[in-house]
Amino acid sequence: MVRRASYKRILEQYKNDILNFITGRKQHYFYGTTNYWIGFINNEPFCFLDSLEKDHSLADIQRKYLSKSGHTITLDFGIGNKNFLGQGLASSTLAAFIKFYHKYIDPLSDIFFIDPDENNPRAMHVYSKAGYRSENIKLKAGHLKVIQVI
């Protein structure tokens, strides 16, 4: 269980690391293993993604969903600019990013994980609309909803 104070600290570190990335400084969050991506509309940033190739700290039960013939990528995604919320951009942006990533970054990437809070129906709807399916994976600490590209 993550305590509220430490969760706030983690979010603050995460935010600072994204700001460091945007201003051109080397990232340090997750020991530099993540790659950050910023989406722009008319030169205005509106969303962020971060990608992580196969996380080695996965539970055994999660490993059964790893790609058998290619690469598994973990994503985090959000519309960070409030001016762009509620405009229907999330699912199309996420779907376009996955196509871009597969075509230009890693042609062997064929499974993409994303783990929204299962109590966030808006996120679940967005990911479903972007072509994901949900899988319930029961861990010791509870349920983790893992979503994969079909």
Per-residue pLDDT of the chain (150 residues; tens, 9 = 90+): 344 455 566 667 667 766 776 666 665 555 566 788 888 899 888 888 888 776 666 667 667 778 888 888 888 888 888 888 889 999 999 999 999 999 999 999 988 888 777 777 888 888 888 888 777 665 555 445 555 664
What is the pLDDT at residue 2? 41
Closest-CA residue to 116 (of 56, 57, 66, 75): 75
In this structure, are residues 118 and 143 in contact, taking their beta carbons and an 8 Å threshold? Answer: yes
Q: What whole-number distance in Å separates Cα of residue 148 and Cα of residue 109? A: 12
What does the alpha-carbon distance between residue 66 and residue 112 come to, in Å, rounded to a whole number? Answer: 9
How many CB atoms neighbour CB 32 within 10 A? 10
| Residue ranges covered by each domain of the chain | 1-29, 33-149
What pLDDT, on the 0 to 100 scale, is given for residue 4?
A: 47
Given this model, what pLDDT does residue 73 score? 86
pTM: 0.74
Helices (H), the chain: 4-22, 60-63, 90-100, 121-129
CA distance 69 to 65: 12
The class of domain 33-149 in CATH terms is alpha beta
Per-residue model confidence (pLDDT) at position 44: 87
8 Å CB contact between 113 and 148: yes
